[in-house]
A and B are shown apart, each in its own frame.
Chain A
């Protein structure tokens, strides 16, 4: 019987021919990522009583959630992290200048095909965009990984999603993954490995795949992956990285669920308050007044996303009642945006530029919503009060829909603007 991506990769990590869904395997990760919550990991690590981390070369720590520090508490936590990485010889530490953890790990080649990546962040599923197995864990579990180099994982069941056709104009991978989360529901992929396949994948680059794997978390996925293909190889070679080891699922692999979609029929999608699976087509909610628009995050803060928004906004003005925040996912994205004039286009239209990082996505700083305010964002969560007051609302959509809505001051289908 054939194996899925997850079965093949986990079997290889334990040196076996095969593993079965439901089986518990003890594995050593190829990379262990923590962000600002490394502060909590350090506290737990010290309680275990082990002096040195198992392998400092496998640990990567980018600071991104609250950068620069917005409070004394955060500043103290950042300081403890800086001291710890020096003391332990962890050289892959990215201080506040670099950007959102997941973007940085992919950009810098810390995750490559075939790797097993653990992160103290739920959106660690993103790493499937380059054919890696990425899954999120808590801080205590990461402390145990730092101490022992090991973690137990349950081999997940797999869900196969096939895409055919091509996106219409102003429809993007974000629209597809929102549609899928709406279709499967917030726990539709709980504990499962999600695989994306089909002829459309040849047209969807690594940035779009990143968005799809990232948001698969919002249907509960343990990991999500686009199996390595020519697109992955070209992306990695373009950045000068090695191409790792591709674990390709067998044609006769067993899936607990199969879904197949013709994406050429898809129209712009939007997740309405207060759940990511509360998804509608944008035309169903057009006209809702917005106070803030956010373009950024690990989900959609890449140069392709900024370009997509700029193409809608170019030569126009942001609605006077809207605050549109642009948060590049990384320093490299920001630099590229400056060099290519994309940032100029956005600023001339009236956008506000925020430093690379998580920005207001998790309601920590840099764009908190007042009670009663409405925001449209290219980010990943719209839970009640996520971006501020318990009485605020967040709608999630593609960068193009965010941009079109920011121009009109109301939720707007981007096909009507650009």
Chain B
């Protein structure tokens, strides 16, 4: 499967409080949750209003560091973000994303030439990432093994249902 959208580029060590602040944890309504996505990330204040369905987030190293809160994945998913590409991910964020059926691709060699507004395409099968604005391509790590099975089912709950059924 290929995903294509406008990139929102952010930096290293974007933590779970920046992605989804603790004060909003009691919120259960998806629409409300989406309104607070990346609210505490400097320079991304307009992200929830300006991001379009299908846009991608492009980050530096250790994206999602911090809390185990799934809201950090859900708020992006509910906003319509199609994928996060990062130089590296924090362990629990990555696991939560897979379990919630939200595509995440690690690409340690991601260059800084990818800028906000560039059109980026991701091939989830091969892990190939293309910045269509600059024409450059990079190789990310595609899902494999159990991760691929869970992701392919659309998340852990669907995976379990499929296994049971």
- Does the CB pair B155–A140 fall under 8 Å? yes
Cβ–Cβ < 8 Å partners of B70 in chain A? 40, 138-140
Q: How far is the CA of A384 from the CA of B44 in the complex (A)?
A: 14
- Does the CB pair A187–B92 fall under 8 Å? no
Question: A12: shortest Cβ distance to chain B, in Å?
Answer: 22
- Does the CB pair B62–A138 fall under 8 Å? no
Is B55's CB within 8 Å of the partner chain A? no
Cβ–Cβ < 8 Å partners of A364 in chain B? 22-23, 25
Q: How far is the CA of A301 from the CA of B20 in the complex (A)?
A: 26
Question: B133: shortest Cβ distance to chain A, in Å?
Answer: 29
Cβ–Cβ < 8 Å partners of A74 in chain B? 26
**A residues 203-242 in Cβ contact with B at 8 Å:** 220, 222
Tell me the interface secondary structure of chain A in the complex: loop
Is B1's CB within 8 Å of the partner chain A? no
- Does the CB pair B160–A383 fall under 8 Å? no
- Does the CB pair A48–B161 fall under 8 Å? yes
**B residues 108-163 in Cβ contact with A at 8 Å:** 145-146, 155-157, 160-161
Q: How far is the CA of A139 from the CA of B28 in the complex (A)?
A: 13
- Does the CB pair B160–A48 fall under 8 Å? yes
**A residues 141-160 in Cβ contact with B at 8 Å:** 141, 143-144, 147-148, 152
**A residues 133-191 in Cβ contact with B at 8 Å:** 136-141, 143-144, 147-148, 152, 186-187, 190-191
Is A120's CB within 8 Å of the partner chain B? yes
- Does the CB pair B161–A363 fall under 8 Å? no
- Does the CB pair A148–B157 fall under 8 Å? no
B1-25 CB mask vs A (1 if < 8 Å, else 0) is 0000000000001011110011101
Question: A96: shortest Cβ distance to chain B, in Å?
Answer: 15
- Does the CB pair B26–A138 fall under 8 Å? no
Cβ–Cβ < 8 Å partners of B61 in chain A? 187
Q: How far is the CA of A74 from the CA of B22 in the complex (A)?
A: 13
List the B residue with the shortest CB-CB distance to A277.
Answer: B13
Cβ–Cβ < 8 Å partners of A71 in chain B? 26
List the B residue with the shortest CB-CB distance to A219.
Answer: B65
Is A11's CB within 8 Å of the partner chain B? no
CB within 8 Å for A24 and B146 given contacts A144-B160, A385-B40: yes
A–B pairs, 27, beta carbons within 8 Å: A24-B146, A37-B25, A44-B157, A48-B160, A48-B161, A49-B164, A71-B26, A120-B68, A121-B68, A124-B68, A137-B92, A138-B70, A138-B73, A140-B156, A141-B96, A147-B160, A187-B62, A187-B65, A187-B88, A187-B90, A190-B90, A190-B91, A275-B13, A364-B22, A381-B17, A383-B18, A384-B42
